[in-house]
C-alpha cells in the first residue's frame, strides 16, 4: 500500500487516478514535485523526492520516502506481486 492524500473516489487502480488528478497538455497526471519533458500519458505521484521523466510514455511512477515504483500503466495490476515479494523479503517497513 502506498499512502497518498487526495479526495476520496472509488479508485480501483492507478490508471483511475486520471479521473481525479488534472492532466497537462500531453496527458500526464501528477501529484507532488516533478519535471516532465517530452513525455506523455504518465501517472506520477511523489510523496517526497522530485520525480523527473524524459521521453517516456504510459508509465505509473510512485515515489515515497522509502520506495520507488515504476511500472508500465498497462501492467499496474502486477503491483500486488511486488508487495508479496517485499513481504517475502521481510521489507514490511516500506509497505
**67 within domain boundaries:** yes
Q: Read off the pLDDT of residues 21-77 as tens digits, 9 standing for 90 and up.
A: 899 999 999 999 999 999 999 999 999 999 999 999 999 999 999 999 999 999 988
Range list of H helices, the chain = 79-88
**4 within domain boundaries:** no
- Structural domain of residue 83, as residue ranges? 14-89
**3 within domain boundaries:** no
Is the pTM above the cut of 0.85? no
**Could you tell me which residues come within 8 angstroms of residue 32 by beta carbon, excluding any fewer than 6 positions away?**
44, 45, 46, 47, 48, 51, 63
**77 within domain boundaries:** yes
Amino acid at each position: 500500500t502506498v499512502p497518498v492524500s487526495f479526495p476520496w473516489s472509488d479508485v480501483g487502480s492507478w490508471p483511475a487516478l486520471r479521473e481525479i488528478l488534472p492532466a497537462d497538455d500531453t496527458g500526464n497526471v501528477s501529484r507532488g514535485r516533478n519535471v516532465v519533458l517530452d513525455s506523455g500519458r504518465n501517472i506520477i505521484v511523489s510523496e517526497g523526492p522530485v520525480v523527473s521523466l524524459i521521453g517516456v510514455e504510459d508509465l505509473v511512477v510512485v515515489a515515497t520516502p522509502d520506495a520507488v515504483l515504476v511500472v508500465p500503466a498497462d501492467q499496474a495490476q502486477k503491483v500486488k506481486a511486488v508487495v508479496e515479494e517485499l513481504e517475502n523479503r521481510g521489507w514490511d517497513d516500506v509497505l
